[in-house]
Structure formats: structure tokens, C-alpha cells
Structure 1
Amino acid sequence: MTRSRATAIGFTAILMWALLALFTIGSAPVPPLLLNALCFGIGGLIGLVWTARRGFGVLRSVSWRVYAFGTAGLFGYHLLYFTAFRLSPSAETGLIAYLWPLFIVLFSGLLPGEHLTARHVTGALIAFAGAALIVLGRDSDGATTAAGLVLAFGCAVTWAAYSVLSRRLGDVPTESVTVFCLATAVLSVVAHLVMEPTVWPVTASGWLAVLALGLGPVGAAFFTWDIGMKKGDIQLLGVASYAAPLLSTLALVLAGIARPSWMLLAAAVLVAGGAMLAAGGRRTGRKT
């Protein structure tokens, strides 16, 4: 698989994550950890279908340490994220949590065979400014707390570390993500029973939103992201990830949930400009 093709596959995860907010709103009033359990359960079923192509024997060749690493990444990030917003439901929390694309760019410079340039860092910072306009411009009904911000920072570092370290597991088949998803679903059920009440979707559209989340943003996206992180342009994908909050807001505008604004246009220019700057320094044509 070429580097450019793997990058394109990884970018489909960003496109799917752009629908995360829209489908999450549609899935109300399901509490976060129960929603996590349902979605990762669906994602795990997708993985079983994916794995069936090569045979389930491929899963036996994967070390338990890899399974522990992947499960900790997926479950740890979402637990920190949901808890951060429960303690501090503010725009500032969202902004701190969205440091993960910048951390991916910075951490990637520590990987063998990768070269971090000033273009990558500058592009990431410009794109982050665009994401900041989106996040800080949203209405916020909650207060900011130090504990919430610390947990948000922790979830940003967790997802960046998971994504970048996945590169070191390039020989591990993407089918392993199936086990990550199923284990995360089980842990989410346990956390749900301990931390929150059980509330199911009340309408057919609510169930459809849960299904859509599991099929895309909290399901298939983790498989395509794994391919992008292991075989694609990791710096470019890190910068391009800032398109997610922008595209998410555009989806909410098209759905009539959010209103268009000049701020949205300015954010689009910054995110696109940062991604184009970072793309200008990438290497192409290498096979992995």
C-alpha cells in the first residue's frame, strides 16, 4: 500500500468524526458510557466482519500487550473525555481536549524514519487557531474547573500517544482493532453500571443515531485511522485532524442545529491554510 493511499484512508476517519457531534445529539438521552458501550459493540461487530476476510487466526498472533495497549488507548481516552466534560462542560475544556492533533505532529518527530519540519509545526499551530475559533465560539452552559481541564489535557495526550505509538506496531494487523473495540465495549458497560443511570433511546431516530455512531465515528473510523497511523503521512494526518471540528460545525449548520457565521469562514481559512502548509512539506511515493 502506498503512503498516499494509506493517508487517504486515514483521512476517512476524520470525515467520520466530523459527524460525531451530529449523531451524538441525535442519540440523546443515552448517557455517555452506555453510548460508548453500544457504539464500540457495533464497532466490534464490524471488526469481526473485517477479520473474517483473513481468518480469525490472525488475532492469535497478536500479543496480549498489544491488546492491552489498544484497549487502554480507546477506553482511556473516552473515559477521560467524558469525565472531563462532566466536571467542566465548557468551551475551554473542548479546546484543551483538541490539543491531540498538535501532539500527534510533535510526538511523530520522535519516531524512526520520520522527520518533523517547521512547516509541520507552523501548519499545526495555524490549524489549531482555526479549531480554537470554532470551540471557543460555541455556547457553553457550564463552568470551567481545574480538574476538568487536567483530565481534558490527559485525554489529548492519551489519544496522541495511542495514535503515534500505533506507528511502532506497524507489523500488527489492523484486525487487532476488533479486540480493542470489543474490550472497550465491555469496560464501558462496567463503568456505566458504576457511574451512571441506564437510559435508552426513546425514538426510532435515536436508535438510528446510535447505529450510525457505531458504524462510523465510533466504529469503522478506528480501523481506517489505524491504517493511516501505521502506513500513512502521520504529520499530515495530525494537522488535517483539525478539519474535524470545522466539518462537525458545518454538519450542524446543514442540519439546522447551528447557525453560519463569519467566524466559521475564518476558521475554515485557518484550518485549510494550516493543512496546506503542512502538506507542502510531506514526502510522497514511498511504499510501506
Structure 2
Amino acid sequence: MTTNTATVDNDYLKGFTLVLLSAIGYGLQPLFTHVAYSDGASPVGLLVLRFLAASSMMFVWLKLRGFEMPPLKHNLQYLLVGLGYSGAALGYYSASHSTSVSLAVILMFSFPAFVVLFSIGVLKEKATPLKLVSVALAIGGVVVAVGLDIQGDSTGVLWALFAALAYGSAILYGTHKASPLYPAQSACMVLIGCFLGALVVSSIQPTHWPQTDAGWLSVVGLALFATIFPIATFIAGAPKIGASNASTISTMEPVVAVAIALLLIGEPLNTATLIGGGMVILSVVLLSRSK
């Protein structure tokens, strides 16, 4: 093995590990939210605190590292992306609060189907067989998970589907409209946009905060280990392995989230959730392998 080959292999392994850690970090969200909800926090209140803490930490880190802020147009673009992610987070957290975490995760991760359908129908991207099969799998997985055995009320299902639509919209805008420059600063602006979006919603919806130290510690954990940490590791790792591989590894996020729901929160696993979730994750993996 040559020195160059060894260096490439080491870089790939480092990138793989970082992206895997990112997916695991994002997957920890149900653990922290479960503690916060049990302590009296509402989904909106939790999101306000999460994004306030995360954006503040990120902004201070950028200042300490001497990063210059990008032009105003760039910041506005990523503020809009943040507003989209804020809507996705609101849908996801509201869904997991009123229905099972497992079902909310599965429905949330059907967002690639919305992205592909929009890209084909509006952006006129080529409808390859792989893309069509992936979309069919994602939609089929949602139908199986929802249609056979819903745990919770229909409001939670609608919130989760709204999360998928908002997440897909934010990805489409960020991919086709926003500048790819300044990744760290962009991540900070996204978090600020998320905070502003959650703050607006908090003015029109009942907002409740944690009541004890355990609840507030869960907010810190959510901001640090399930927001800042996965953002930083993904930004550092994805360029080393490529977008396709990074997307594939990121499918560990719903696996970790569902595992936490089953093992730590105590949710039951039913056949519909298992089959539907497998179909949705398979669709994400197939889509990530297409160019």
C-alpha cells in the first residue's frame, strides 16, 4: 500500500466515523425530548430553548475561532433554510409528543420522496428507474406504517408528514438556491433561523418550560449532543467520503432514534412499524446511491 493510498483510506475512515457519530447524535433526540416532556416542557418551548442554546454556542465558537460572517445575502438565504428546518422540527417534536416516536421518525424520514417528486415534476430532473423505485418504497413504507396500526392520534401523523414536507422544502431551497460557501457560518445562520421560527410559533401557541434541573439538563444535552455535535461532525466528515456515502450513513439516525424509543422509553414495536420503517430506510439508501 502506497503512502497516498494509506492517506486516502485514513481520510475515508475518519470521514466515515465522523458522519456516523453525527447520525448517532441526531438519533439521540428522542431521549432528551422524552425527559423534557416528562418534566413539563412543551414541544414549542423545547424547540425555543434548544435552538437558542445551540445558535448561541455556535456563534460564540465562530467568534472565538475568528470566522468572518458572510455577506448579507448569504445569511438571509440560510435564515430561510433555518425557518424551513424549524417547521420540520416543530412537526417532528409535535408528532413524537402525541404519537409514538417510532412512527414519527418513520414518517419524518419519508421526506426524500417529496424531494424527488418535486425535483422530477417541477425542476425537470431525470426520472430514473432507481429514483422511481425509491419513491415507491418510501410512500409504500408510510402507507404500511400508518395504515395498518397507528399508535396515537391522527394529529400526530399529520404533524409528522408536515415535518417531512417542511424538511424536504428546506433541502430543496438550500440545494438549489443557497450558496454552498461558508459551511460553518451557514450552519450558525440555519440555527438562528430555527430559533426565530420557533420563537414566532411560541407567540401563538402555548409554551411551557422544564420544571426541574433534570428537564433543563436535557435541554443542554439536546443542544450540545444532538445539535451542535452532529452538525460539527457532519461538516467535518462529509467532504471526506462524498455526499452519497454520507447520506447512506445518515440513515443510522432513524435506527438510533427507534432503538432509543424501544429500549429506553419503552415503546412497543409492532409489525407495521417494523416493515414500514424498513421500506423507508431502504428507499433513502437507494436514493443516496443515485447520482
Asked whether the two chains share a fold, i.e. TM above 0.5, the reply is yes
Gaps of 5+ in 2: 1-7
Q: Does 1:184 align with 2:194?
A: yes
1:195 aligns with 2:175: no
Which residue of structure 1 aligns with residue 184 of structure 2? 174
Q: Say if 2:88 and 2:166, in contact at 8 Å, map to a contact too.
A: yes
Q: Offset at 1:216?
A: 3.2
C-alpha distance after superposition, 1:69-113 (max 9, x if no partner):
223222233345556788xx457994654431323445566999x
Alpha carbons 1:126, 1:271 under 8 Å: kept: yes
Contact persistence 1:167–1:230 (CA under 8 A): no
CA distance in 2, matches of 1:80, 1:276: 23
* Aligned position for 2:216: 207
Alignment pair present for 1:74 and 2:85? yes
CA distance in 1, matches of 2:136, 2:21: 22
With over 3 angstroms needed to count, the CA separation of the structure-2 counterparts of 1:61 and 1:212, relative to structure 1, is: same
Tell me: CA distance 1:48–1:110, structure 2 relative to 1, closer, same or farther (3 Å).
farther
Q: Which position in structure 2 is the counterpart of 1:27?
A: 36
Name the structure 2 match of 1:247. Answer: 256
Alignment partner, residue 24 of structure 2: 15
1:159 aligns with 2:167: yes
Determine if the alignment matches structure 1 residue 139 to structure 2 residue 151: yes
Greater mean deviation of Cα atoms: 225-234 or 44-53: 225-234
Structure 1 residues 123 and 80, CA gap change in structure 2 (3 angstroms): closer
User: Does the Cα contact within 8 Å between 2:81 and 2:171 map onto a contact in 1?
Assistant: no
For the aligned residue pairs, the C-alpha RMSD in angstroms reads 4.5
Instruction: State the Cα distance separating 1:11 from its structure 2 match.
Output: 5.4
Larger helix fraction of residues: 2
Q: Which moved more, 1:46-55 or 1:270-279?
A: 270-279
Shift of 1:214: 0.8
Relative to 1, partners in 2 of residues 1:64 and 1:58: Cα closer, same or farther, differing over 3 Å?
closer
Deviation digits for residues 127-169 of structure 1, max 9, x if unmatched?
A: 66556666675631x3459xx73x6544322211212332342
The offset of 1:265, in angstroms, is: 6.0
Cα distance, 1:190–1:110 mapped onto 2, change above 3 Å: closer
In 2, the alpha carbon distance for the partners of 1:177 and 1:34 equals 22
- CA gap of 1:143–1:264, structure 2 versus 1, over 3 A, is closer
Range moving further from structure 2, 20-29 or 240-249 = 240-249
Aligned residues: 273
Distance 1:278 1:184, change over 3 A: closer
